[in-house]
Amino acid sequence: MKTFNYESNCVRYKNCFFDVVEQEKDKLSLSIYGYVENDKNVSHIANATVSVSEKLKKDEVVIDTYANSNLISFLLELGVIKCIVRRITVNNLRLPIVKLDINRLYEYSFNQEVLKIAS
């Protein structure tokens, strides 16, 4: 599993990875886990996606740019997102639907044993 470093709200996280969960109707949910500075316990950092009722393709998700304003550019740099498909309104917010590079995403996905002990 590959890991990455991530910064959000002036906090630096190390050795981060994605928890990818397949939800109902072939929808994916992404969360980011990692280590806060010198902490030895893995922590939940952020939910990267928003659940929507709209029909999406298997490689599409809605990114939560409201809570994570720099997330799109970061995921594009990481190669996890191929492109922004379109935007939709979710709870009065315009959020992007993105096309994922599924293979690249799973390169950065969690090791289940590590996640079991996450705080």
3-class secondary structure per residue, the chain: CCCEEEEECCEEEEEEEEEEEECHHHCEEEEEEEEECCCCCCEEEEECEECCCCCCCCCEEEECCCCCCCHHHHHHHHCCEEEEEEEEEECCEEEEEEEECHHHHHHCECCHHHHHCCC
The tally of domains found in the chain comes to 1
In a domain, 61, yes or no: yes
Q: Is residue 115 part of a domain?
A: no
5-17 pLDDT, tens per residue? 998 878 889 999 9
| pLDDT attached to residue 118 | 53
pLDDT of residue 38: 81
For the chain, residues with pLDDT lower than 70 are 25, 111-119
User: Does residue 119 lie in a domain region?
Assistant: no
pLDDT reported for residue 23: 77
How far apart are alpha carbons 16 and 33 in whole angstroms?
5
Q: Is residue 78 part of a domain?
A: yes
Confidence (pLDDT) at 119: 46
Q: What is the pLDDT of residue 101?
A: 96
Give a yes or no: residue 116 inside a domain. no
In a domain, 118, yes or no: no
Is residue 84 a part of any domain in this protein?
Answer: yes
Structural domain of 95 = 4-110
Rounded Cα distance, 21 and 76, in Å: 20
pTM: 0.84
**For residue 55, is it within any domain?**
yes
